[in-house]
């Protein structure tokens, strides 16, 4: 009889062949390590252990390992204290079932170690890398937030410049507080009719790099958000082409684009376009559990070991196996059916067309912007009813209260709906019918009860780095008295989580008017110590502090 040790390389070969057969039809997926840029294999990279009998041949090895570990009858003296469900609080177990508790296991030997993976986690991550076209993939249990923070920390030392769009997600700001990187902001195009910002262009990035070089600054990395929350994509290939001759790596916040590899009508992924690191919220459009994300890498410009170290620094030492296995399951779900997105895409296209025909309703598309952005995610449908004199909040309230339609994102002018693998035909039909109803009911409304806003992004003056501002002494001042002061906190309407005032920036009349405007419309202001925004924290100048 063959020993398994002898036989395993053949199994692995067959498995990698099968995986490449299940690759999305549009792409030829290179096996790990043979992608466009061969990654530097981390010195500490573990050699994959042989799969245990329990997971051999499994389509989702981590899910399978969790299942077989939980099935063992054992006397359990480990954490968590609900003891595999024996002491589960009934209020929750009645709601979500005992299964969640029985499989909520800690890092037992057979379940591998997230920070030194050599068994099922490594196997699951490798399969994800293969499917998503990266040379290395890390599973994340603290959302894309920790992926972005780790990517920035791994590429910027304190004082290095980080080129970023001014409308970056709040996690990029926290990454600067953690790393000590200094921002070089690029102001994205902003459409005040929609109160929506687009992406950034490669010429903006090029110009920012030239300015920094002229001033002799050290550039750590360029980070762009593509797609944005509204689905607007930047030309990542063009940005990469501006950065690589200078050996500057590119990180893409692709939190909203984890599905891009899985349909011909989706934009190209960041990794396909040559970015070194792409952070994807698998839990947003794909089907893993909330908080689970992936960080993909495809280059030798970034040190994989450093990324691993930063991830260990930022994540819990008790990662949830429910989250981790949900990433493996979401990957397997796509591998098993590469046509999964055919139906959602068809529904989304049809829905867009039908919404467009409704009087008073507009649908966001690329023509909204002057810049030549290459693509918009077809699954993100952003609608405005401002021609019916309805603000985004009013339209959203009507849809929720009168039609039981729950959107993904609401802004001052527009509402955004996310289509995904679970969207049903009846849901999109109801959305169209409800929009027609709103159009008929409000077509005679003459009076406009809302006003357009000015860009909250274009007038800013940075006096301290986010890190300096974070650690300085601060005082609370009444909102009216804050103009001209240096902001000491991050003030960010949520959603979409785009900061309007960043620690270290001068508080301006424009930023305050925008914040007060969105607050009055009901948007939650996060980050500020006073969520009602009657006061804000500002920097105490040194002479004041010592007085």
Shortest gap between Cβ of 170 and ligand PLP (angstroms)?
A: 8
Per CB under 6 A, the list member of 497, 503, 504, 527 interacting with ligand PLP is 497
Q: Which residues contact 176 (CB under 8 A, 6 or more apart)?
A: 152, 162, 182, 183, 465, 466, 467
Q: If binding is defined by CB under 6 A, does position 315 make contact with ligand PLP?
A: no
* Contact assessment for residue 67 and residue 321, using Cβ atoms and an 8 Å cutoff: no
Stretch in the footprint of ligand PLP (CB under 6 A) among 10-18, 50-58, 142-150, 389-397:
142-150
Shortest gap between Cβ of 499 and ligand PLP (angstroms)?
A: 12
Residue closest to ligand PLP (Cβ): 143
Stretch in the footprint of ligand PLP (CB under 6 A) among 192-200, 251-259, 269-277, 522-530:
251-259
In degrees, rounded to 5, the angle at the alpha carbon of residue 380 between the alpha carbons of residues 375 and 384 is 105
Q: Which residues contact 411 (CB under 8 A, 6 or more apart)?
A: 194, 195, 196, 392, 496
Q: If binding is defined by CB under 6 A, does position 308 make contact with ligand PLP?
A: no
Q: If binding is defined by CB under 6 A, does position 294 make contact with ligand PLP?
A: no
261 or 474: CB nearest ligand PLP: 261
463 token code pair: 């006096």
**Helices 321-336 + 120-132 axis angle, to 10:** 40
Q: If binding is defined by CB under 6 A, does position 225 make contact with ligand PLP?
A: yes
288 or 386: CB nearest ligand PLP: 288
**Helices 342-356 + 425-442 axis angle, to 10:** 10
CA distance 250 to 221: 6
Question: With contacts defined by CB under 6 A, how many residues of the chain interact with ligand PLP?
Answer: 14
Stretch in the footprint of ligand PLP (CB under 6 A) among 16-24, 139-147, 244-252, 392-400:
139-147
In degrees, rounded to 5, the angle at the alpha carbon of residue 404 between the alpha carbons of residues 419 and 227 is 25
Stretch in the footprint of ligand PLP (CB under 6 A) among 47-55, 253-261, 422-430, 519-527:
253-261
Q: If binding is defined by CB under 6 A, does position 392 make contact with ligand PLP?
A: no
CA distance 493 to 490: 10
394 or 408: CB nearest ligand PLP: 408
Q: If binding is defined by CB under 6 A, does position 144 make contact with ligand PLP?
A: yes
Q: Which residues contact 58 (CB under 8 A, 6 or more apart)?
A: 64
Q: If binding is defined by CB under 6 A, does position 231 make contact with ligand PLP?
A: no
Q: Which residue has the tokens 């649908």?
A: 363
CA distance 147 to 490: 20
Pairing mode, strands 250-253 and 219-225: parallel
Q: Which of residues 155-214 bind ligand PLP (CB under 6 A)?
A: 169, 171
144 or 308: CB nearest ligand PLP: 144
Per CB under 6 A, the list member of 39, 143, 188, 527 interacting with ligand PLP is 143
Question: How many residues does the structure list for the chain?
Answer: 547
Mark 364-383 with x for binding to ligand PLP (rule: CB under 6 A) and - for no binding.
Answer: --------------------
Q: If binding is defined by CB under 6 A, does position 299 make contact with ligand PLP?
A: no
**Collapsing DSSP states into helix, strand and coil, what is residue 96?**
helix
Q: How many CB atoms lie within 10 A of CB 109?
A: 8
CA nearest to 135, candidates 43, 47, 25, 38: 38
Per CB under 6 A, the list member of 281, 325, 382, 423 interacting with ligand PLP is 281
**Chain positions contacting ligand PLP, by CB under 6 A:** 143-145, 169, 171, 225, 229, 253, 255-256, 281, 293, 496-497
């Amino acid at each position: 009889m063959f020993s398994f040790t002898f036989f395993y390389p053949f199994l692995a070969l067959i498995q990698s062949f099968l995986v490449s057969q299940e690759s999305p039809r549009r792409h030829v997926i290179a096996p790990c390590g043979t992608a466009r840029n061969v990654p530097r294999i981390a010195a500490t990279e573990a050699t994959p252990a042989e799969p245990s009998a329990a997971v051999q041949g499994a389509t989702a090895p981590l899910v399978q390992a969790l299942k077989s570990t939980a099935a063992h009858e054992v006397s359990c003296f480990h954490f968590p204290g609900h003891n595999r469900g024996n002491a589960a609080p009934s209020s929750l177990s009645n709601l979500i079932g005992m299964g969640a508790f029985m499989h909520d296991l800690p890092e037992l030997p057979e379940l591998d170690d997230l920070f030194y993976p050599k068994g099922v986690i490594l196997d699951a991550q490798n399969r994800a890398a293969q499917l998503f076209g990266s040379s290395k993939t890390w599973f994340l249990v603290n959302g894309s937030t920790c992926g972005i923070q780790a990517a920035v920390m791994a590429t910027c030392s304190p004082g290095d410049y980080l080129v970023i769009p001014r409308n970056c997600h709040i996690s990029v700001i926290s990454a600067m507080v953690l790393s000590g990187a200094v921002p070089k902001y690029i102001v994205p195009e902003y459409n005040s009719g929609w109160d929506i910002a687009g992406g950034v262009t490669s010429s903006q990035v090029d110009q920012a790099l030239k300015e920094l070089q002229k001033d002799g600054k050290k550039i750590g990395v360029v980070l762009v958000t593509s797609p944005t929350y509204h689905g607007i994509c930047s030309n990542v290939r063009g940005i990469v082409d501006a950065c690589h001759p200078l050996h500057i790596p590119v990180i893409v916040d692709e939190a909203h684009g984890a599905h891009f590899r899985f349909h011909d009508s989706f934009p190209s992924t960041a990794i396909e376009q040559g970015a070194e690191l792409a952070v994807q919220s698998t839990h947003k459009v794909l089907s893993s559990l909330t908080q689970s994300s992936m960080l993909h890498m495809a280059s030798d410009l970034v040190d994989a070991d450093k990324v691993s170290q930063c991830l260990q620094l930022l994540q819990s030492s008790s990662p949830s196996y429910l989250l981790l296995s949900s990433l493996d399951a979401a990957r397997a779900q796509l591998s098993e059916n590469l046509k999964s997105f055919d139906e959602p895409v068809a529904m989304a296209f049809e829905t867009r067309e039908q919404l467009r025909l409704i009087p008073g309703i507009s649908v966001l598309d690329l023509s909204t912007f002057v810049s030549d952005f290459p693509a918009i995610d077809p699954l993100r449908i952003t609608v405005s009813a401002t021609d019916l004199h309805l603000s985004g909040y009013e339209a959203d309230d009507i849809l929720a209260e009168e039609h039981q339609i729950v959107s993904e994102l609401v802004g001052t002018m527009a509402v955004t709906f996310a289509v995904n693998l679970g969207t049903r035909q009846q849901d999109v039909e109801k959305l169209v019918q409800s929009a027609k109803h709103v159009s008929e009911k409000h077509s005679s409304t003459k009076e406009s009860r809302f006003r357009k806003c000015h860009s909250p992004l274009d007038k800013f003056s940075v006096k301290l780095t986010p890190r300096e501002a974070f650690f300085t002494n601060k005082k609370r001042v009444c909102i009216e008295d804050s103009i001209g002061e240096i902001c000491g906190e991050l003030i960010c309407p949520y959603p979409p989580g785009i900061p309007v005032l960043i620690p270290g920036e001068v508080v301006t009349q424009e930023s305050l008017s925008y914040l007060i405007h969105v607050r009055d419309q009901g948007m939650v202001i996060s980050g500020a110590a006073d969520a009602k925004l009657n006061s804000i924290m500002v920097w105490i100048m040194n002479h004041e502090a010592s007085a």
